[in-house]
Structure 1
Amino acid sequence: MSVNNLYRQWTQQLLPRYLADELVEIASDEQAMEDRFYQYVSFGTGGMRGVLGAGTNRMNIYTIRRAAEGLARYVAANGEAAKARGVVLAYDTRHFSYEFACETARVLGAHGIRAYVYQEPRPTPQLSFTVRELNAFAGVIITASHNPKQYNGFKLYGEDGAQLTPQTANEIIQHMNSIEDIFAIEVAEVSALEEQSLLTWLLAELDASYLKQLITLKETREVALDMKLVYTPLHGAGLAPVREGLRAFGFTDVAIVEEQVVQDGAFPTIPYPNPEEAAAFTLAMAQGQQIGAELLLATDPDADRLGVAVWNGVRYELLTGNQLGALLLHYLLTTKQQNGTLPSNGIIVKTIVTAELGAKIAESFNVMTENTLTGFKYIAEKIAQYEATGEHTYLFGYEESYGYLIETFVRDKDAVQVALKVAEMAAFYALQGETLLDQLEYLYQKFGYYQETLISQIFEGKNGQEEMQAILQCLRQSIPNEIAGLAVQCVEDYLTGKATLANGETENLTLPKENVLKFILADGTWIAVRPSGTEPKCKFYIGVVDETMEAAQDKLEIMVQAVLKLVK
């Protein structure tokens, strides 16, 4: 159906006023109309994420029902046992998150599928945990993670508590594509579903179960439990589990940024609800200085990403995802080694765009490192694989974008676990008169000064997607022999599954196919290019290492300029 016909179809429906008004506003704006109707919100292995509003390319109750209908048909195709096991539904604090969760339950209920729905916003990792705890057949969380306030999403999980495999996602997409009329999708009433026991509300009991597992991360070693720290949930869903977890760990001086406790999808105190950004820490830094806090913690709206800032004696210094990952890894492995619990077949898992410092640290403990494509679902797959085969014992998994997982009762990145462990780690070093920054310098001196950066270019709308693909295609057709004077030793093309060496020889890559290019240069510098899976961006990752911080930072700046020139 054409864009104009789809627009007319939507205007002829009895829509909620806010959606109807939006369509009236764009009646004479062809570009706005095309952007809203040229496709359905893109649905991948993780589900879908998009801007809120009216149209097929927007997040609204109708596109949510379409995704829920696809899921319902998939569950029903797996039989009555799958329908009885049901689907767990959670949601963050974004606009319409609760409504979208209820719409999903209503669609599932119309198919006789049981839904377990949280009564209050809860984190993505708690959703993953709950799917496993209740032996549910699937899970959904309504969230757009750290995206801007105008976004929301529909994120799907399998019965193992991990994000869906491509095969399962494709089955659901096929069901979605077979829906002829998005407005004819059947929905049941919430009250009727409650009466039929097809809708069960969750909260206190599952909160307690999740907390019980979190407490297993606590070490018995002596730490400075009176260390002052500040935590902010950034208006999101992390408050309850992080606050209770810190209390259970024994921390006695935890300040909460009260202005950001308010669960508000407008995120009124911050420009962007992303703990990777220094601006997200503005209020926490002010409060931290006021009380003399050594450590600041921030979780994103669905509490799967953690940001950390450390007092350096003059100001608060924000750790990168790579730095925090290295610190956690070294602390975890050192603790296990001292406790005599470090297995001989241990393995850590990281993504191909995560710094190599972690691999160097692991190597020093005789622990293997395995690389995966970007996306925590790939790390979860490795956890399941090694549980089944016993070949390796999973010890830690992480990605540079502030995502980490320690214990496997969750199968996605878990900022709650990590917030508690970072507090414990900082308190351990505080007892020795050191900060996390002191420990980071120790790692640099021992393994090399690793520095990384990320350049993101935004490509919105249909034309933007085409431009982004053109960049990747151009790089493939014109592979450089050198970048910034450094020879290109290897080009890894994950779309073709081939690695091409400088002498022209090729090797097969073992990872799944994905639209990613990675250039490895003569001195160990690397550059990776990939379209974002959740935002209209093309991302350029750069990693360097040198013998001093100054040399590494100089090299990084040279590479940034070279990359910008390369993709101009």
Structure 2
Amino acid sequence: MSDKKHSGGVQRGPIGGQPVLVTSSLLDLHTPYSYGMMDTLSTLIQTWLQWDQDPTSRAEIEQLRDSNAVEELEKRLRNRIEFGTAGLRGRMAAGFSCMNSLIVIQASQGLAKFIRDQRSDIASHGVVIGHDARHNSKKFAALAANAFIAQKIPVFLFDQEAPTPLVPFGVSHFHAAAGIMVTASHNPAQDNGYKVYSSNGAQINRPEDGEIAQSIKDNLEPWPTAWEPLQPGEYLRSDSYQQLLPHYMDRVGKFMKSTVANWEPPKPFVYTPLHGVGGLVLPELCHSLGIDNHASVEAQEIPDPDFPTVKFPNPEESGALDLSIETADKQGRTLIIANDPDADRFAVAEKVDDKWQLLTGNHVGVLLASHILDSYDADKDWSHISVLTTTVSSGMLAKMAAAKGIHFKETLTGFKWMANVARDLEKEGKTVSFAYEEALGYMFPSVCYDKDGITAATVFLAAEAKWRSQGLTVYAKLQKLFAEFGHHETLNNYFRSPDPELTSTLFQGIRGSNCLADMKFGRFKILRWRDLTKGYDSSTADNKPDLPDDPTSQMLTLWLEGGVRFTFRGSGTEPKVKFYIESCGDSRDDAVKAVCDTFLTIREEWVERFTPSMSYSKQLPTSSGHMLTVE
């Protein structure tokens, strides 16, 4: 691209082609382009209008140009949306910084060229491309397919909306070179995303993600066929979904039944897919398994990309299950299960003594783990079996595994880590039976190497039926586990940090204070601390951590006297600094007090001291339902 100044009027795009009208007020603005170039804003506008052939997004940029909206154009065009956590995710709008057709084309060209050049031995195995029911998801999937077909890479394209877990399952089933799922999971309606899986069926991880990101930058200009309508041909497998779904359902059913000695259906329950694609698969799967005693939330059972009945389509959010509770109360049912819109997450609520209890991801995780671990006989050596969770999830799973003689492994946050660690353990001869993370994600490698809300639902329903035969409700089973392994209370939430510099200032202040050096955190004594940003662990002989360091993110974990552990980290996808506090005590009250005291210390010793402008919720619920009200 040229950095030459122009005098206004009509200019040709930098690659040639259609004339583009530029106004003189935009011409002399120079700031560094994301690749280190010095492009004028007018050049960026020209480049966008030269490359983009989507009428809607073209019109957006043209309107902003004609109205001289310099600040908005800078925001849209100056920097590219980051190819990071397993791909892309962001607001759908025109511009290099947003999710749109051109960005999908560029990402797909980069990935296709990476596979053709760097994975040439498996390129002929093809790629699996699925999409959810969000706005533009089907269109984005078709545009992605064009890029691979241009490189003569076969495409297993889903011709209808599908749950996310079917893509990683499909990668393994078809032995594909890669997988793509067009989804923004539980994000708001205006967002979309592009999730990438490697040939092992797991989300891409470093260094592969960086190599793909570079390939994208090397292949930004749309190829000649990039915008053409998708046509039938020798490289397009458009019936892939119909082929794959029966195999997925069969695998899920077999795995679920393998976890129980005598399969029986659960008690009547209410199910909601929260306007997502889970409702296209789970009810049919339940019927095939003889589970016909569920009721759907009618207003939410059909996919709807506007999510009209919920403020946020995330079952973790307050109010998301209100219609489910209303439906359950009307029908006299005491159990609710839910998926998020792309059905990779799973949530549970149970009515206990006339009050609905929404279980946390840690609660459901240890309940599922208990059910699976119970299927292993006590008198055998199970050291080759492994279970996984992440550093921000409960420490309870490690205790449960140790009691069974089962191998336990902690990983960094996210399923891109857990899935790839699971694959590595398999190479060492381990069998990974289960993995989970506190954000309602549960992985069953027997089915696929990513979080899977459909499999989680069926396994949970089988577990509920087993516990009921033992005279236990779901909640009673959880309390029984607490009695055995200690009451684990959590308080997970966040401080709002709209500026990455603010997050950086906070962590610089923490590291520059005497807190960590003096091993004191308010009234708490620090027993151990780990800084994965700097690659430090106070508990090891060489001060190297037992997890990979990541200098691109902010993450501290502290172990405190009194059975408290907490992680403090900057979010990679949201304007937040998140905290995950857990205490294990002999009683609920002791554990609740410990997590609340820890939060107040974080606020006073760190946030108010170094970044007092950060805001936070004044009502913070702990995992058992206690509400911490902050003055």
Shorter chain as normaliser: what TM range? over 0.9
Hey, what does 1:125 align to over in structure 2?
165
CA deviation after TM superposition for structure 1 residue 506, in Å: 5.3
AA of the residue aligned to 1:508: K
Secondary structure of 1:510's match? coil
Q: Do the aligned residues in 2 keep the contact of 1:128 with 1:157 (CA within 8 Å)?
A: yes
Hey, what does 1:399 align to over in structure 2?
437
AA of the residue aligned to 2:545: L
Query: Could you tell me the TM-score, scaled by structure 1's length?
Result: 0.93
2:178 counterpart of 1:138: yes
2:44 counterpart of 1:4: no
Q: Indicate the structure with greater helix content.
A: 1
Q: Do the aligned residues in 1 keep the contact of 2:149 with 2:236 (CA within 8 Å)?
A: yes
AA of the residue aligned to 1:383: A
Hey, what does 2:508 align to over in structure 1?
473
Hey, what does 1:418 align to over in structure 2?
456
Q: Which of 202, 206, 228 does residue 240 from structure 2 map onto?
A: 202
2:199 counterpart of 1:165: no
Secondary structure of 1:279's match? coil
Q: Do the aligned residues in 2 keep the contact of 1:190 with 1:199 (CA within 8 Å)?
A: no
d(CA) in 2 for partners of 1:32, 1:394? 48
Deviates more, 1:214-223 or 1:142-151: 214-223
AA of the residue aligned to 1:256: S
Q: Which of 509, 525, 536 does residue 545 from structure 2 map onto?
A: 509
d(CA) in 1 for partners of 2:453, 2:421? 20
Hey, what does 1:240 align to over in structure 2?
280
CA deviation after TM superposition for structure 1 residue 92, in Å: 1.1
2:428 counterpart of 1:409: no
Cα offsets for 1:199-251 (capped at 9, x unmatched): 43322221100011001123353465261111111111212332122223322
d(CA) in 2 for partners of 1:135, 1:17? 37
Structure exhibiting the larger radius of gyration computed from Cα positions: 2
Greater relative contact order (Cα < 8 A, sep 6+): 1
CA deviation after TM superposition for structure 1 residue 479, in Å: 5.2
Hey, what does 2:616 align to over in structure 1?
none
d(CA) in 2 for partners of 1:168, 1:13? 27
Q: Which of 120, 125, 136 does residue 85 from structure 1 map onto?
A: 125
Q: Do the aligned residues in 2 keep the contact of 1:233 with 1:260 (CA within 8 Å)?
A: yes
AA of the residue aligned to 1:318: L
CA deviation after TM superposition for structure 1 residue 561, in Å: 1.6
Map 1:385-464 → 2, pairs under 5 A: 385-390=424-429, 392-460=430-498, 464=499
Deviates more, 1:433-442 or 1:423-432: 423-432
Structure 1 residues 226, 13: CA separation in 2 closer, same or farther (over 3 Å shift)?
Answer: closer
Q: Which of 185, 193, 201 does residue 153 from structure 1 map onto?
A: 193
2:526 counterpart of 1:491: no
Hey, what does 2:401 align to over in structure 1?
362
Hey, what does 1:561 align to over in structure 2?
600
d(CA) in 2 for partners of 1:155, 1:556? 35
Q: Do the aligned residues in 2 keep the contact of 1:62 with 1:182 (CA within 8 Å)?
A: no
Hey, what does 1:283 align to over in structure 2?
323
Q: Which of 59, 65, 68 does residue 105 from structure 2 map onto?
A: 65
Query: Could you tell me the TM-score, scaled by structure 2's length?
Result: 0.84
2:586 counterpart of 1:550: no
CA deviation after TM superposition for structure 1 residue 427, in Å: 1.6
Hey, what does 1:269 align to over in structure 2?
309
Hey, what does 1:531 align to over in structure 2?
570
Cα offsets for 1:396-427 (capped at 9, x unmatched): 11111111112433011111111001111112
Structure 1 residues 304, 28: CA separation in 2 closer, same or farther (over 3 Å shift)?
Answer: same
Cα offsets for 1:50-73 (capped at 9, x unmatched): 111011100000111110011011
Structure 1 residues 51, 191: CA separation in 2 closer, same or farther (over 3 Å shift)?
Answer: closer
Q: Do the aligned residues in 2 keep the contact of 1:359 with 1:369 (CA within 8 Å)?
A: yes
2:329 counterpart of 1:293: no
* C-alpha RMSD of the superposition: 2.2
Q: Do the aligned residues in 2 keep the contact of 1:3 with 1:33 (CA within 8 Å)?
A: no
Q: Which of 357, 369, 373 does residue 329 from structure 1 map onto?
A: 369
d(CA) in 1 for partners of 2:162, 2:470? 36
CA deviation after TM superposition for structure 1 residue 102, in Å: 0.5
CA deviation after TM superposition for structure 1 residue 196, in Å: 3.3
Cα offsets for 1:307-326 (capped at 9, x unmatched): 11111131321000011111
2:288 counterpart of 1:221: no
d(CA) in 2 for partners of 1:308, 1:9? 48
d(CA) in 2 for partners of 1:426, 1:484? 42
AA of the residue aligned to 1:511: L
Q: Do the aligned residues in 2 keep the contact of 1:531 with 1:539 (CA within 8 Å)?
A: yes
Work out the number of aligned pairs and report it.
559
Cα offsets for 1:344-390 (capped at 9, x unmatched): 33221110111111112222212232110001121112221222121
Q: Which of 52, 60, 69 does residue 22 from structure 1 map onto?
A: 60
Secondary structure of 2:97's match? coil
Structure 1 residues 465, 331: CA separation in 2 closer, same or farther (over 3 Å shift)?
Answer: same
CA deviation after TM superposition for structure 1 residue 490, in Å: 1.6
d(CA) in 2 for partners of 1:10, 1:213? 45
d(CA) in 2 for partners of 1:198, 1:83? 14
d(CA) in 2 for partners of 1:166, 1:330? 32
Structure 1 residues 85, 189: CA separation in 2 closer, same or farther (over 3 Å shift)?
Answer: farther
Structure 1 residues 350, 51: CA separation in 2 closer, same or farther (over 3 Å shift)?
Answer: same
Cα offsets for 1:61-111 (capped at 9, x unmatched): 011111001101111114655332111000111111111101100121122
Structure 1 residues 544, 80: CA separation in 2 closer, same or farther (over 3 Å shift)?
Answer: closer
CA deviation after TM superposition for structure 1 residue 451, in Å: 1.0
Q: Do the aligned residues in 1 keep the contact of 2:433 with 2:446 (CA within 8 Å)?
A: no
Q: Give 5+ residue unaligned stretches, structure 1.
A: none
Cα offsets for 1:154-196 (capped at 9, x unmatched): 11101111011312212211111223x545564164454x133
AA of the residue aligned to 1:417: T
Cα offsets for 1:108-154 (capped at 9, x unmatched): 11222211111111112110000110111110001111112121111
CA deviation after TM superposition for structure 1 residue 8, in Å: 4.8
Secondary structure of 1:348's match? strand
Deviates more, 1:513-522 or 1:133-142: 513-522
d(CA) in 2 for partners of 1:534, 1:157? 18
Q: Do the aligned residues in 2 keep the contact of 1:211 with 1:244 (CA within 8 Å)?
A: no
Q: Do the aligned residues in 2 keep the contact of 1:52 with 1:152 (CA within 8 Å)?
A: yes
Structure 1 residues 29, 567: CA separation in 2 closer, same or farther (over 3 Å shift)?
Answer: farther
Structure 1 residues 299, 282: CA separation in 2 closer, same or farther (over 3 Å shift)?
Answer: same
CA deviation after TM superposition for structure 1 residue 332, in Å: 1.2
CA deviation after TM superposition for structure 1 residue 509, in Å: 1.2
CA deviation after TM superposition for structure 1 residue 443, in Å: 1.3
CA deviation after TM superposition for structure 1 residue 513, in Å: 1.6
d(CA) in 1 for partners of 2:263, 2:354? 24
